[in-house]
Amino acid sequence: MGANWQTRYPNNSAPYTSTIVFLVRKGNPKQIRDWSDLVKPDVAVVTPNPKTSGGARWNYLAAWGYELHRALGPDWKKKLDDPAAADEVAKAQASAEKFVAELYSRVPVLDSGARGATNTFVQREIGDVLLAWENEALLAIGEMGPGKVELIVPTISIAAEPPVAVVDTVVDRRGTRQVAEGYLNYLYTPAGQEVGAKHFFRPRNPEVLARYSGQFQQLEEFSVDEIFGGWQRAHATHFADGALFDRLYATVKR
């Protein structure tokens, strides 16, 4: 695909987005409303292992970003790039590490993937709250029927961007470049955006998004690029062997 593959299509080659939300038991007995509620002493959180699950990494970064926002205040994004705020940012990063460690101390089962985590929460009835992509959460509610779980959208979360790409070596070998590029271009059209919205992805097209305003609650969002410096840097800092997740999880009492 080449190093610049994400620049081939608009919006980092992500025609629609999702975000990280909470699924709770019917009636929300633990009164979970935002990220801070996940570290209450009596709350058990279900989320997969970010070492083995790509989706779990979004959960982890969403929690980290929440605590940075809480610690730094409304101008948090500007402060992250401001050398004059370096000391304040360092303290906020330390606070985020502590918050995420506390969150993982409340995870009774660290499944290898998102489907396993969903099964742990729904079928095995373990935990009080499941961290999930919004589209997956809405699908789960539809599959289980009313009366089982409820969706909670936090005040702030990460903009999860499922990317699309044309793999040059594959399409050129098979002679399918025209079809592949036509399909990806279609995803950005109003009709393609409608299909995404019907499957619970947040469309980029503002007119289509407006038509589905009742399905998608508003919240403040941040991206991996603006808070973590992109996925390559986020991986090296948080998920590589011996990086932050390994270090903070080693301190978790289980």
Give the residue, 89 or 123, on which the prediction is more confident.
Answer: 89
Q: Running DSSP on this structure, what letter comes out for residue 237?
A: I
Q: How many CB atoms lie within 10 A of CB 129?
A: 23
Residue 207 in contact with residue 213, Cβ under 8 Å? Answer: no
Between the alpha carbon of residue 244 and those of residues 8, 80, 97, 106, the distances in Å are: 32, 18, 8, 18
Q: DSSP character for 235? A: I
Residue type, 31: Q
What percentage of the chain has pLDDT greater than the value 90? Answer: 85
- pTM for the full predicted model: 0.92
pLDDT in tens, 178-195: 999 999 999 999 999 999
Alpha-helical (H) ranges within the chain are 10-13, 54-72, 76-80, 86-104, 114-122, 134-144, 168-174, 177-187, 190-198, 206-211, 224-228, 231-234, 244-250
Query: Domain 16-163+218-250 maps to which CATH number in 2.40.110.10, 3.40.190.10, 3.40.50.300, 3.40.640.10?
Result: 3.40.190.10
Alpha-carbon span 14 to 203, nearest angstrom: 10
Q: What SS3 state is found at 38?
A: helix
Distance CA 71, CA 75 (A): 10
pLDDT digits (tens, 9 = 90+) for 205-230: 999 999 999 999 999 999 999 999 99
Q: What is the pLDDT of residue 122?
A: 86
CA dist list (Å): 98 to 26, 42, 68, 229, 248: 30, 18, 11, 21, 8
Domains of the chain, residue spans: 16-163+218-250
pLDDT digits (tens, 9 = 90+) for 52-107: 999 999 999 999 999 999 999 999 999 999 999 999 999 999 999 999 999 999 99
Residue 69 and residue 227 in contact, taking contact as beta carbons nearer than 8 Å: no
Residue 140 confidence (pLDDT) above 90: no
Q: Does 239 score more than 90 pLDDT?
A: yes
